[in-house]
Chain A
């Protein structure tokens, strides 16, 4: 009872940085509790992503592909994970804090009668009776040191807080996971997924993010941000106000209740910096703020602040970067 199971629902045929970072969290936890880390890959991409995961230090990679996971629901994921977790007797079952994992792991915790930690930022003291973690609380304004007490525990981890493990040069064995014949809940069905067309890098994967607030005044302002993003190879993000106004899709929202990101460079334009937004980006390595209002709270966390109208400053910055890159 000292092994760790990391669950991934691969988005593509090769594991992403954040998926591997979750494996990094699992390997670290396994080291602390004195066990090994297995990976469980679920869904249609599980088989193809398995090889890429197997090179990064897991003991075994379990592949769970099943007809009920082709158009999965949280209930189906929970049934699959619950079955593997119970048969393997894992000390800790965890995955990255994506919406898909947040939509199934609490059910797994209830199945296992185990405590759960959400959005783990760091691991603390672990022993036979507890797993210590640090997580955000109070809109990201405080950190809580939490003990998960008992023989088993469940967690989601914030992928941006952990490093992807290096390739080991050896590949772990890949095995089929033993899943129940039926995973679907009789009273739940997937209807459709309307994917936001993505022309730029994904927010949680990007090294650079250009983000806009109410000061962009809508589509016109965002066009300028997108031009800068394209020159930088950056992702585009938005504040809650922008998403509420319908200027950008919901999954572009950076903040406590949107995406929590930690890119190398974050450029916030026309963004005042509400605490809920800061909770989503304050761990960025370098923060740039461009805002007309010199008193905007975002300047309190920015490494570089420019008090200026974004409609003039952003195109000028785009031009300067273009010139620099030749």
Chain B
């Protein structure tokens, strides 16, 4: 099986973002990592390869600095990497269009993607990609079983109200959710091997029909502060407060 796992770089988990007075992000000295949901996608790709054979290609869209996150995927065990090169910030539909060009070039059996990037919190690119390719998709996967001979994936999806199971014919796009797996750490030999693995670059100019940017972030701001309230000394006191406010 040929599997693509896509990667976005996001600021390290639990980073408190700083803002400029104009509402821009302060990005100097930010430490980046692979978006946690994309790490699950890489891990699942590796597990499927270990079971069914084939190769895992880590794909991203963005500037040269992203090579660091691709190296992480290669060190985990991905076979090679492909980056669609651009310095300009792309919106989700543009990103999906660029990824569609990379996917068409590789013709994989499966594209695995994190369900959400923890920075922009859009959760749009995977389904936009599936639509542009006219492929089926499965979202929020907590279990993926592939039958490569029948070209079918059976996916358990975490949805409101319970767990839904769907079957998608391959090729397909599947998005990964929290409980799908536990991503492995890159081993030292893995890190050393990663440097020798092939890493290709595709210029953004090769992407046909890149749409105009339609989503533009005008400014960021901090949440209205929520003040810490009162520490009560006993359950009786707590109950009295809630009763006084007519909440219970």
Contacts and interface: CB of A to CB of B under 8 A. Distances in A.
Contacts of B218: 132, 145-147
A84 to B, nearest CB: 16
Nearest to B226: A301
15 contacts: A99-B158, A107-B128, A110-B96, A142-B19, A143-B223, A145-B220, A188-B136, A192-B164, A192-B165, A251-B159, A257-B178, A303-B229, A304-B230, A306-B238, A317-B238
A110 B131 contact: yes
Contacts of A111: 131
A127 interface: no
Given A142-B223, A299-B231, A115 B93 contact: yes
A308 B17 CA distance: 33
Interface string A188-200: 1111111110100
Interface in B107-151: 115-116, 118-128, 130-132, 135-140, 142
| Secondary structure of the B contact surface, majority rule | mixed
B208 interface: no
Contacts of B164: 190, 192-194
B228 A301 contact: yes
A303 B221 contact: no
Nearest to A184: B136
Task: Indicate the size class of the contact surface on chain A.
Answer: 35 or more
Interface of B: 11, 14-17, 19, 23, 91-93, 96, 115-116, 118-128, 130-132, 135-140, 142, 154, 157-169, 172, 177-179, 211-223, 226, 228-232, 234-236, 238-239, 241-243, 245, 247-248
Given A106-B123, A118-B123, A187-B172, A142 B221 contact: yes
B98 to A, nearest CB: 13
A251 B239 contact: no
A219 interface: no
A1 B178 CA distance: 40
Q: Which of B17, B125, B235 has the most CB of A within 10 A?
A: B235
A191 B166 contact: yes
Given A106-B126, A149-B214, A244-B178, A142 B131 contact: no
Contacts of B216: 146-147, 149
B239 A304 contact: no
A317 B221 contact: no
Contact of A191 (B118, B140, B167, B222): B167
A100 B159 contact: yes
Given A75-B136, A264-B247, A99 B160 contact: yes
Contacts of A138: 11, 15, 17, 118-119, 121
Given A143-B221, A148-B214, A306-B232, A194 B128 contact: no
A233 to B, nearest CB: 10
B223 to A, nearest CB: 6
A163 interface: no
A282 interface: yes
Interface string A308-326: 1000010011001100110
A116 B124 contact: yes
Contacts of B168: 187-188
A103 B120 contact: no
A187 B138 CA distance: 11
Contacts of B92: 106, 115-116
B229 A302 contact: yes
Nearest to B120: A137
